Amino acid sequence: MKVAEGKQKFIHTWGRLGANWGINRTMASVHALLLVSADAMNADEIMAELKISRGNANMNLRELMNWGLVHKEIIRGDRKEYFVAEKNLVKVAKLIMKERRKRELDPIVKTLAELQTIEGDKKDKHVKAYLETVKGLKDLTTKADGLIELMLKADESRFLNLLIKLLT
């Protein structure tokens, strides 16, 4: 396989991956393109490479910057803005985890706590089924939150060592 073909496939694969994870397909493609590019790229280059409109490129680049996955780079004597992706994929994974935790997990933990405060006969099987499910899910999200916290804090080698230890 040639490099150009590999890049194409990589962009496609990452795009599909993103779509399964609540990330817009184009945003994931732009990210993939910048990840496999040696140099910073400007909007026109990205538009040409991915065959997308200026508005689309702009919007998705902004969103990638909001996630902290991409940043602007100024090149002296060039009016255009250039974009670079964070290439350390461990950092990338952590940024994504952090963002999703903030956007999704935190609000859910809060909602579940509210949902536990209902009036009604705790002996009634319907009330019981409800409360057990809500409690179970709250416990689970709390645990997931702890795991994410751990992954975000732990440095890579420690985390790897841990994994190895536990898998053997």
What is the binding site for DNA (CB under 7 A)?
Answer: 19, 24-26, 42-44, 51-56, 58-62, 77-81
Residue 58 or 145 having the CB closest to DNA: 58
DSSP-assigned beta bridge partners for residue 138 = none
Question: Which tokens go with 8?
Answer: 């194409």
Fill in the DSSP letter of residue 163. H
- Closer by beta carbon to a copy of itself, 39 or else 78: 39
| Backbone angles phi and psi of 72, in degrees to 5 | -75, 150
Q: Does 65 bind a copy of itself (CB under 8 A)?
A: no
Please report whether residue 55 would count as binding a copy of itself according to CB under 8 A: no
The Cα 98–Cα 105 span in angstroms is 10
Using DSSP, how many helices (H) and how many strands (E) does the chain show? 8, 3
Are 17 and 34 within 8 A, CB to CB? no
Binding residues for a copy of itself, per CB under 8 A? 1-3, 5-7, 9-10, 13, 17, 19-22, 35-38, 87-90, 93, 100, 104, 108, 111-112, 114-115, 117-120, 125-130, 132-134, 136-137, 139-140, 143, 146-147, 149-150, 154, 160, 162-163, 166-167
